[in-house]
Amino acid sequence: MAAALEHRLVRAASCKLLQKTPSRVRSGSGSVRRSPSVALLSPFALAVWTFSSPLAQDGPLHQGSNPRPHRCQCQASQVYRYARSTQLFSLPKKSNHQGRRQFQRLRNIKQLGTSYYVWPGASHNRFEHCLGVACLARKLLTAIRSRQPELGLTDRDVDLVEIAGLCHDLGHGPWSHVWDAMFMPSVLPDRPWKHEEGSEMMFDFLVKDNNIDIEDADVKLIKDLIAGERRHCDPSEKQFLFDIVANKKNGLDVDKFDYFLRDSRAIGEEIKISLSLLFSSARVIDNEICYDVKHCNLIYEIYNTRFRLHKLVYNHKTAKAIEYMIIDALKLAQNEGGMKIAERVFDPESMCTLTDELMSLIEYMSITDPKLKPAADMFQRIKQRKLYKQVDFKTIQWAERQLFEQNVTREKIVEAAKLNYNKHMDDRKYGTDKADDKEEGFELEDPENLEVDDVIISLSPMHYGMGPENPVDHVKFYSRQSLNQSRSAQLGDYSILMPPFFGEISLRVYTKKPEYYYNVQAGYRAVVQELREKQGQEVRSDLSVPTPPLTPLAPTTGPRSSSGGLRRTASASLNENPWTTVKAGFQPPGTPSPKKRKASVGEEDAPEAKRRS
């Protein structure tokens, strides 16, 4: 009775139909429990209160033919409307996990990781994201269930998919993907670990630690739904359920739908994706979720949005630099500091306290433990914006990644940087150096102390969702004329203006020591020059735009890739980037002035030799 009363109060407040709410609500046991004035709470605070209130957990949640309370439609922006719908009402009793410590830790893990240092407004966390994914999972499956009752979807199916959406990120470590994709492989290369595995481990621990009464078959299905593939669950489970939270067929899942909208709004560049329109056309054909072909352009824009966010936000040059600094700080704490923080991911009890607050913990412990001082100093550099510097950047073709990984290495860059310095000193000694090549007021730094570990080569794949392929080719569509037949959309069915490539590699070169900025850039370019000569490439240094011909050119023809784009026979990836070129001796602003280098033997005579020549 108390739970039903509270649901009515929350519903009325969110719809702005309630002007005053008693501050005291009587529970079913007769005791009086105080609750805040619902009418004065913001929708988000109202949602948190509903989740944390003991009243929301009392009484049966399934009454009569309506298994869940009616969801009111609040008048708000799209990003928060669906999130509020989830938060306003309690989840099914078996999925009431959001108050557990295994789930609450996600409040302290930022969704965007290090991108928060570039966009301070993007402070949302994994807790909010998981609530949104759970909401969208229920909305999508409920929409399919209402239109296709012949599928036999049950309340159990809907509830378990919602739980999978709620718990799919339980295994994320500090700073999200920085932990599992970068830190863990660097310190424990022989013990592979992914956050999906951590989510399954934490879900098992959540069930055991809180004595949750749930069938073993349900647990297996939830973990397979999180993984996005059938592994341990009963073979009779519906196949299309595995494409809702983590879709490995084409990447269209509610996880991405939520963070596309949530992240773009947080950075101030809100995108518009009509999920209600997309969900209204979702239909299961041959055990696969298909969409109306008239929404093909909308789906293409979703994939394009993914590429834009990865290129402009998730792989921002400053965010990447901070990622590498955090990794170095964690490695210092792991090895020199003796904290052994990487091993904590294998202990669910210890994992409950492993969040972004690890930075503050290391800084606090460094006060009494000098072994942690280097790690704490690295964190201070991040806060003071004394970051690693990007010295060069290039976008390379997808197929050339292996070529660069094998031939453009840190060892070769350091070796080339030292050879370039020696050549520069020889030219200066004999008066053959070019004055125009040296930045005025700077002295070329001796890279004698430049080490391999001071150079970073970042190769980040950027794509629309399916690597170098057009992801729309992996989506099945239907038409109103044939509701039970699905097929792939062809290029002319939705557009012919397609990019020639759907994937690329972003190559960035960083230096940890800004005084070696020019040295590292010169070394990198020398290595690429050698590779270019080896590959028989020619440098195009002329950036002038050719005059258009008086008569139009014939349409370009040539071999096409599987995605419909023209294959390029020559690559510009090995050419130098003219926009990042600096003069010899350049150092970024704020770099400490290099110490006066003592002239080598015979160097004093260089000006006189140059005058005589």
Q: What are the catalytic residues?
A: 195
Helix (H) or strand (E) holding 611: helix 606-612
The SS3 assignment for 499 reads coil
Q: State residue 290 phi and psi, 5-degree precision.
A: -120, 165
The residue written with tokens 């999978």 in the block is: 164
Do residues 218 and 167 make contact, with C-beta atoms less than 8 angstroms apart?
no
DSSP 26: E
The SS3 assignment for 283 reads strand
Mapping DSSP onto H, E and C, the string for 451-487 reads CHHHEEEEEEEEECCCCCCCHHHHCEEEECCEEEEEE
Distance of CA 255 to the CA centre of its chain: 12
Is residue 543 packed enough to be buried (19+ CB in 10 Å), middle (13-18) or exposed (0-12)? exposed
What is d(CA 260, CA 273) in angstroms, rounded to the nearest whole number? 9
CA angle 171, 184, 188 (to 5 degrees): 125
DSSP 63: B
What is d(CA 55, CA 6) in angstroms, rounded to the nearest whole number? 7
**Spatial CA neighbour of 329 closest among 114, 130, 543:** 114
Maximum alpha-carbon separation in the chain: 105
What is d(CA 22, CA 9) in angstroms, rounded to the nearest whole number? 10
> What CA–CA distances, in Å, run from 288 to 144, 186, 240, 476?
12, 38, 5, 8
Strand order from edge to edge, sheet including 482-488: 283-285, 288-292, 476-479, 482-488
Sequence letter at residue 541: S
What is d(CA 399, CA 588) in angstroms, rounded to the nearest whole number? 33
The SS3 assignment for 393 reads strand
Q: How do strand 455-463 and strand 503-511 relate by DSSP bridges?
A: antiparallel
Do residues 493 and 268 make contact, with C-beta atoms less than 8 angstroms apart?
no
Residues 375, 197, 202, 246, CA torsion sign: positive
Residues ≥6 apart with Cβ < 8 Å to 13: 21, 38, 39, 41, 46
**Spatial CA neighbour of 86 closest among 119, 142, 134, 123:** 134
**Spatial CA neighbour of 166 closest among 90, 80, 263:** 90
Residues ≥6 apart with Cβ < 8 Å to 65: none
Alpha-carbon Rg of the chain, whole angstroms?
A: 29
Helix (H) or strand (E) holding 21: none
Is residue 301 packed enough to be buried (19+ CB in 10 Å), middle (13-18) or exposed (0-12)? middle
**Spatial CA neighbour of 249 closest among 289, 284, 303:** 289
